[in-house]
Amino acid sequence: MKLLFIGDVVGKGGREAVRRLVPELRREYNVQFVVVNGENAAAGNGISASCVRDLVPFADVITLGDHTWDQKGFEAEIATCKNVVRPANYAKCQPGKGYGVFDNPAGGSVAVIALQGKVFMRDSAYCPFETADQVLKSLPSTVKTILVDFHAEATSEKLAMQHYLDGRVTAVIGTHTHVQTNDARVSAAGTAMLTDAGMAGGDASILGRAIPDVLQKFTTGMPVRLTVVEKGVIRLDGAVITYDPATGRASQIETLSRTIEV
């Protein structure tokens, strides 16, 4: 079977890229299950129930990261979003769930776990390594296909998580930095790894934000409103993972990057 993972969706343009490109990618790669990181889907910061509704027809699961609570009111809305997974290593008092076992339309099930890194991240979170162990212990033994979205800044922390979970999960895919890395591989133990999947956002941008705004911020050091690029060429980055549902072992991972005009 094949699973498609899409990097951080940025704003309305990113949501439009998912809407237009994911159905094509499903057909082209014969994909049965789609996971989308949607933590920047609402105007570039966080997500809302409305944005979830935009993505649900095209994504079986939506993962989140450090911008989970950026949109006012989402802490109440998340309870209604059954296929949304926020980082599992948040405090237990926070609403929502950090992982879930989801039915694969093609048969079987897929466990999706979201974790947030600690190095250089703005929000505190519990140890992602310890949390990963706890979540894996709680999964039914019948669940073989397990995907981990590790939302982290430092490549060293992402690589550490990949090696820590090697042979125990189907894939460890990094998100957050919005730049797709050139290190997609499958370990001898059958775990697909990618340090960062990239993003779905403006192609002529800096991480989905307007180039002049970001340059002004860096060159002056002053606060600047970073406009989300919603028009023009929008790029969608991701990866397709081929795996055996009977064992959960991955056999191939292939990165992709496509564009549309909005």
**pLDDT tens readout for residues 181-216:** 999 999 999 999 999 999 999 999 999 999 999 999
Dihedral sign (CA 2, 164, 114, 8) = negative
Core vs surface per residue 238-258: b (16+ CB within 10 A) or e: bbbbbbebeebbbeebebbeb
122 falls in which pLDDT band (50, 70, 90)? Answer: confident
Catalytic residues, which ones?
A: 67
What is the C-alpha separation between 22 and 45, in angstroms, rounded?
A: 22
124 falls in which pLDDT band (50, 70, 90)? Answer: confident
* 0.85 exceeded by pTM: yes
- For range 217-241, the mean pLDDT: 97
- For range 155-162, the mean pLDDT: 98
The pLDDT value given to residue 232: 98
Longest Cα pair distance anywhere in the chain, in angstroms? 55
Around 96, how many Cα atoms within 13 Å sit in the side-chain half-sphere?
Answer: 28
Encode pLDDT of 40-67 as tens digits: 999 999 999 999 999 999 999 999 999 9
Q: Are 75 and 69 in contact (CB under 8 A)?
A: yes
Does residue 251 have a pLDDT over 90?
yes
Edge-to-edge strand order for the sheet containing 171-175?
99-103, 109-116, 146-151, 171-175, 192-194, 185-186
What is the C-alpha separation between 85 and 69, in angstroms, rounded?
A: 13
Dihedral sign (CA 115, 120, 125, 127) = positive
Around 223, how many Cα atoms within 13 Å sit in the side-chain half-sphere?
Answer: 0
- In eight-state DSSP terms, residue 139 is S
- The CATH code of domain 2-261 reads 3.60.21.10
Encode pLDDT of 78-117 as tens digits: 999 999 999 999 999 999 999 999 999 999 999 999 999 9
The pLDDT value given to residue 123: 75
What the block records as the tokens of 133 is 């162990």
Does residue 17 have a pLDDT over 80?
yes
167 falls in which pLDDT band (50, 70, 90)? Answer: very high
- For range 147-164, the mean pLDDT: 98
The pLDDT value given to residue 184: 98
Any idea where the domains of the chain sit in the sequence?
2-261
% of the chain residues with pLDDT over 70: 100
175 falls in which pLDDT band (50, 70, 90)? Answer: very high
Core vs surface per residue 22-40: b (16+ CB within 10 A) or e: beebbeeeebbbbbbbbbb
